[in-house]
A and B are shown apart, each in its own frame.
Chain A
């Protein structure tokens, strides 16, 4: 079952902040975040493994609330290069020995000058 991402799209000005949410109806083992620019391959941003864990990547950070089965991606002081579609990928606790990610439908982020 795919995770649900919100919002579906967001438009901001350079320097503004944004939050993208990802939630699942199933217990999660991990949450992965990827960014895809138009016509390009999705690129790995970060993975969160533990409940409550927060990770940062430049001015992009994320949190994982294991109890609520939710993750949020925080983009601070957005740059033009942040534009793209952001995907969360979730890995369920009942997954087998091979990692199996289920991705959400993505959030299209547009940063304007």
Chain B
């Protein structure tokens, strides 16, 4: 069983569209994250939720909206997609907000045409 699973793995879409990426963890962790990996391979945190509560919100355009229906799920919705949104998006989880170890999903490669 995959610990942190993301869908879809690949997402190709046109500029201006709205898309969502789903993430689920079956580890019983309290904290979940979204990271963006750009073309230069930098992994940059976008959001973090702890027990469904937003605790980290980096400088990310308002077009990006995370939603956590329960502590096992953290979805990312992106409105009005732009070319610069093309990247690999990783979901991750940790046991709690103070935990040292992140468990990453396998990533969603988003290509905006």
A contact residues vs B (CB 8 Å cutoff): 2, 30, 32, 34, 39-44, 47, 85, 87, 89, 97-106
- Residues of A near B43 (CB, < 8 A) are 42, 87, 89, 103
Q: Mark B75-90, 1 if CB is under 8 A from A, else 0.
A: 0000000000000001
Cross-interface CB contact of A105 among B42, B45, B100, B103, cutoff 8 Å: B42
Name A41's contact: one of B4, B41, B94 (CB within 8 Å).
Answer: B4
| Interface set, chain B 54-70, CB cutoff 8 A to A | 55-56
B66: min CB distance to chain A, Å: 14
Whether B56 contacts A100 by the Cβ 8 Å rule is yes
Which residues of chain B have a CB within 8 Å of any CB of chain A?
A: 4, 31, 35, 40-45, 48, 50, 55-56, 90, 94, 97-107
User: How many interface contacts (CB-CB < 8 Å) are there between A and B?
Assistant: 58
> Measured between alpha carbons, how far is A87 from B55 in the docked complex, in Å?
24
Instruction: Kindly list chain A residues whose C-beta atoms are within 8 Å of the C-beta of B90.
Output: 41-42
Taking chain A's interface residues, is the majority helix, strand, or loop, or is none over half, making it mixed? Answer: loop
Least CB distance from A88 to B in Å reads 10
- A33 → B minimal CB distance (Å): 11
Say yes or no: A97-B100 contact (C-beta < 8 A), given A105-B40, A105-B42.
Answer: no
Assembly CA distance A23 to B90 (angstroms): 24
Partner of A104 from B42, B56, B94, B106 at Cβ < 8 Å: B42
Residue from the list B41, B48, B100, B107 in contact with A106, Cβ < 8 A: B41
Q: Taking the nearest CB of chain A, how far is it from the CB of B56, in angstroms? A: 5
Q: Could you tell me if B102 and A44 are in contact, using CB atoms closer than 8 angstroms? A: yes
Q: Are B103 and A44 in contact (CB under 8 A)?
A: yes
CA distance A54 to B100 in the complex (A): 16
Q: Pick the contact of B104 from A43, A47, A104 — CB < 8 Å? A: A43
